Structure 1
Amino acid sequence: MQAHHDPLAWLDEHARLRRAAGLRRTLRPRFLGEPVLDLAGNDYLGLARDPRVVEAGVAALRAWGAGSTGSRLVSGSTELHAELERELAAFCGYPAGLVFSSGFLANVGAVTALSGPDSLVVSDRANHASLIDACRLSRARVAVTAHNDPVEVDRLLAARTEQRALLVVDSVTSVDGDRAPLAALHAVSRARGAVLVVDEAHALGVCGPGGRGLLAEAGLAGADDVVATVTLSKALGSQGGAVLGPTAVIEHLVDTARSFIFDTGLAPACASSALAALRVLAEEPDRPARVLSVAAAIADAAGVAAPVSPVVPVLLGEPQVAFAAAARCLEQGVRVGCFRPPSVPEGSSRLRLTARATLTRAELTRVREVLGEVLAGRAAGVSVG
């Protein structure tokens, strides 16, 4: 008889190797009332705890219950979902919208439903993991380009043999915070008969006119060959995602997007909170500028260049150095993001600091003090741990 072999024994060795490389990840729950200043989350507009947003969610929770009870096509669509789709699409400048239960699933739904075995998907190498996974699931031929390179995109689209093509890109990258050249990319995609799919997760509520995103800033919102995806969990302080675009695209997604059809609908409370946050943004259009002002102050405190988005990266190189710096910040009451491979390329581990419109002057002073101490040895190349 063959000796028993533990089929999961390999996990211990993989864990050991990740630990040695400084790449083990640990869940660190937040606790109510902890005296920590958050520069790690994505609540860019400070709306996650805004009383108007919270009360809208509470009211929906009481009226509709804890969950949506089913997929959107069965019992999971409520009037709140429909209202959110209408107002979000109108605010951002698109004919129609479709709400998903997460931004990740919105990206998967849009890319897979608009491509297929007879398609080419051109994807920027810096795209978010949700777009990368969407490309893998698309069954299309996928070509990965250098970051923000319209010339390479044009070459790949021009040489394709497939009838259909998508160009997929983040308008603001999640770890570098830089902006895509959307006008140039759209000119290429239009000339080559491709559809431009743009993830506006880190731009909605912060960039563009009144926080309407970078596609709106470029005059591309609502174009018949442009599709946007957004998340409701960053600037809008809630949960969920959405696809915005031509009515025909949205109808096609309802018919074919598996991450929409076979997923339980977004909880009504989340839809209601996102809707309330969207209305606050529309009524208080100065909030996006405040976010970028705070981001500039954080960047100055960290000794890095002024950002063009709410994301402020501080490159530290090796994962152990970045992890030690993040731990030291937390010890001093400031939570920061720590990004290590595979989230970023080898040798570019970093702190990822995020701005929030509601940070006070006193809080920014504390940020400066903590970052000044933790990062003091960086220029000399010494450990910041």
Structure 2
Amino acid sequence: MTGSTLASTADPLAWLAEESAAVRAAGLHRDPLARQSDSAEVNLASNDYLGLSRHPEVIAAAQRAVGVWGAGSTSSRLVVGTTRAHLDFEDDLADFLGTEAALVFSSGYLANIGAITALAGRGDLIVSDTGTHASLIDGCRLSRARVVVVERGDVDAVRRELAARTERRALVVTDSIYSIDGECAPIAGLHGAAHDAGATLLVDEAHALGVRGPGGRGVVAECGLAGAPGLVVTAVASKSLGAQGGIVAGGTLLRSHLIDRARTFIFDTGLNPAAVGAAHAALRILRDDPELPVRLARSASSFARAVGADRPSSAVVSLIVGDPVAAVAAAAYCRDRGVLVGCFRPPSVPAGTSRLRVTVRADLSPSLLEEVAGIVDEALRHVGVRR
């Protein structure tokens, strides 16, 4: 049989069967969990930290936006995909975050990729760390800059890499709150290192907006760095704001540059009107109720104490299980008892550190959280992690 005949009769994707079997054998297969609209389950797996995704004002704002602008943005932002609602939301975001300007993308993933690739390229240096989100990692790879990865939180290592560089420009990239375990990065130290070396610092506040800082303005604001020169903030509307969309905030020159150079802004359909309306309403609620993040922090601390975990730096309580099969079993134990928790396995986390990731919400009562904590503790005992 000739090579051409083989190519025409064999399935070139047959290798997927073997790959699938290997993934399943390692306990790493995933199936999306479909929630039901009438479910009574307590959801501690989402990133809806403030419980605003179902807030009546947020839902009403989304409905109004659809009535005014239609279901979709219909094109990229640079054609006719920008509405007055987009610009109003961006103005209020900038005001809230303490920056000159903000720009909204259709997702946080695209915001990070767009910002990094527009700020660094061939002939530049990016210093990242081992805790950065996949979107930051992909942005670094796509930038074609030289990328150096240091241990997360190692400010001295960042300083050394910046001092040794030969590149014309440098960009330091980090999360402010690491998404897997909810720990906080040393933002003030990283800013000092970047500033001293004439580098730009990009901070992803996805898990800090609405959670940390004065009135939920994030770790950057908490450090007194809001609007600082050479600092770029990215965030999302899909977590504490309960909707969808990515955010880049900084100076007016940065916004203009991203509009001209960020491919994920230029060539992507604009964020849909419903998401813009919902996120804007959620931002107003957060602005008008600065105690929301305070209640969230109090609830997260109480829950962590109840499950025997360290006091959290954010709304995330991470409980190491170790084995991925055991982690899945523990999550299933919780689900069977009406509680949804996150189950994180490789490649989301390093091998041997599979875990339950519990995200506390500000709208849950202390009594309910205490009940849920008991179920989570039972689950860990059920899989042998605790005795």
Shorter-chain TM range is: over 0.9
Worse-superposed segment, 41-50 or 299-308: 299-308
Is it true that 1:235 corresponds to 2:240 in the alignment?
yes
Match of 1:73, SS state, is: helix
Gaps of 5+ in 2: none
1:106-125 equivalent positions in 2, closer than 5 A = 106-125=111-130
1:333-352 equivalent positions in 2, closer than 5 A = 333-352=338-357
Letter in 1 for 2:182: G
Provide the rounded CA distance (Å) in 2 between the counterparts of 1:364 and 1:88: 31
Letter in 2 for 1:174: S
- Confirm or deny: 8 A CA contact 1:301 1:371 kept in the other structure: no
Match of 1:368, SS state, is: helix
| Partner in structure 1 of residue 170 of structure 2 | 165
- Confirm or deny: 8 A CA contact 2:330 2:382 kept in the other structure: no
| Partner in structure 2 of residue 91 of structure 1 | 96
- Confirm or deny: 8 A CA contact 2:299 2:366 kept in the other structure: no
- Confirm or deny: 8 A CA contact 2:127 2:158 kept in the other structure: yes
Q: In structure 1, which of residues 47, 59, 62 is the aligned counterpart of residue 52 of structure 2?
A: 47
- Confirm or deny: 8 A CA contact 1:301 1:367 kept in the other structure: no
Q: What displacement does 1:80 show?
A: 0.6
What TM-score do the two structures reach when normalised by structure 2? 0.97
Match of 2:73, SS state, is: coil
Q: What displacement does 1:371 show?
A: 1.5
| Partner in structure 2 of residue 24 of structure 1 | 29
Q: Percent identity?
A: 53
| Partner in structure 1 of residue 221 of structure 2 | 216
Letter in 1 for 2:18: E
- Confirm or deny: 8 A CA contact 2:307 2:374 kept in the other structure: no
Match of 2:381, SS state, is: coil
Provide the rounded CA distance (Å) in 2 between the counterparts of 1:365 and 1:55: 32
- Confirm or deny: 8 A CA contact 1:119 1:165 kept in the other structure: yes
Q: What displacement does 1:303 show?
A: 1.4
Q: What displacement does 1:377 show?
A: 5.4
CA RMSD of aligned residues (A): 1.2
Match of 1:97, SS state, is: strand
Match of 1:75, SS state, is: helix
Match of 1:111, SS state, is: helix
Q: In structure 2, which of residues 294, 299, 308 is the aligned counterpart of residue 294 of structure 1?
A: 299
| Partner in structure 1 of residue 319 of structure 2 | 314
| Partner in structure 2 of residue 102 of structure 1 | 107
Match of 1:56, SS state, is: helix
Provide the rounded CA distance (Å) in 1 between the counterparts of 2:346 and 2:82: 38
Match of 2:78, SS state, is: coil
Q: How many residues in Structure 1 have an aligned counterpart in Structure 2?
A: 382
Q: In structure 2, which of residues 245, 253, 258 is the aligned counterpart of residue 248 of structure 1?
A: 253
Q: What displacement does 1:27 show?
A: 1.1
Provide the rounded CA distance (Å) in 1 between the counterparts of 2:229 and 2:60: 37
| Partner in structure 1 of residue 156 of structure 2 | 151
Is it true that 1:10 corresponds to 2:10 in the alignment?
no
Gaps of 5+ in 1: none
Q: Deviations over 1:207-226 (max 9, x none)?
A: 00000000001111101100
Q: What displacement does 1:51 show?
A: 0.5
Provide the rounded CA distance (Å) in 1 between the counterparts of 2:382 and 2:337: 17
Letter in 1 for 2:338: G
